[in-house]
Structure 1
């Protein structure tokens, strides 16, 4: 039986995600938690196949809860839930062992695809530390500017803020960012930062 634990401190969001996950083929049981502390207490007892964890919550928060969960249970499969663009939170969570992320306002199809992929990777024998392992092959060659832009993204800086730090125009930063995304095969800032950690460009 495939079980998923959804953790979000907002009841409406939690219920919406719970319903979306419940519609995924193969998922037989979906439970809900309202805090990272609750997940840490319940995981050893319930042993869900997948935990969907909100990045930002009161208390210890989703990032720290994920870190503690994977440290205590390396076989745990965690995917982060984000609202809007939160590359810093996502990157920190993935560098601590989360397998990926999905936006709370994603379509049911996107949620289903993310859940299915996370469950498949778990059943194929990947452990909870999979996302901290560097991808196979040679790392892409980043220019100094691309590295600096990536570093700014990892600190949650906007393109304009990165430009001010580097004495570049915002348009120039966007150009470096586009090249960076292409080299990393990243769809957005959060994924670029996550890949930056996995390749060792960020620490």
Structure 2
């Protein structure tokens, strides 16, 4: 049986994730907090098996909460959740010690897989990639430029304007780097880029 702590400043998000999580087999208790301060205080009093921390576009609260929690409690198992195009915040949280991420609309099977693998000390499968920095990854200069733009939260249009490329050309480079990084979206690609030392 597993215990879960959810941290997000949006009440609707906390309640929604709690409803979904309560139907996941093996979950014994679900608690919620709204702020990083409450998260740190609650975890110090009563550690849990898995912590879910929400991210928001252009807001560093989720990444900062992750960093502070993992710094204070190295054993903490953190999964961040957010929109798939919230690449910058998610990648920062991964760099800060999160074991993986889920889309905000993750299915029940995805939640089950995340809970199971994370509590076994593994990296969540949807995010698990090569352990060695840069191992097996060979991006072209253009693909690197696109990945760096994504890590800065820029849209395909913004990246294209900076590189004097059409948006369709940027999308082509993005698809290629997704394939090379075994990523299905921008957030996964950026998170893997951080792990491999391709972006910082």
TM-score (ref. length: structure 1) = 0.87
RMSD: 2.4
Give structure 1 regions of 4+ aligned residues with deviation exceeding 2 angstroms.
Answer: 103-107, 116-127, 131-139
- Structure 2: unaligned runs, 5 residues or longer: none
* TM-fit CA distance, 1:150: 0.2
Report the 3-state secondary structure (helix = DSSP H, G, I; strand = E; otherwise coil) of the residue aligned with 1:168: coil
The answer to whether the Cα contact below 8 Å between 1:4 and 1:27 also exists between their aligned partners in 2 is: yes
- Structure 1: unaligned runs, 5 residues or longer: none
Size of the alignment, in residue pairs?
Answer: 195
* TM-fit CA distance, 1:60: 7.4
TM-score (ref. length: structure 2) = 0.88
* Corresponding residue to 1:193 among 171, 190, 195: 190
Could you tell me how far apart the structure 1 residues matched to 2:139 and 2:13 are?
38
TM-aligned CA distance change 1:169 to 1:188, over 3 Å? same
1:15 aligns with 2:15: yes
Partner of 1:118: 114
TM-aligned CA distance change 1:18 to 1:176, over 3 Å? same
* TM-fit CA distance, 1:118: 3.4
Partner of 2:63: 63
CA offset digits 1:34-61 (Å, max 9, x no partner): 111110111011101011111139x972
* Corresponding residue to 1:170 among 143, 167, 171: 167
Q: How does 1:1-203 map to 2 (within 5 A)?
A: 1-56=1-56, 61-83=61-83, 85-107=85-107, 109=108, 112-114=109-111, 116-126=112-122, 135=131, 138-203=135-200
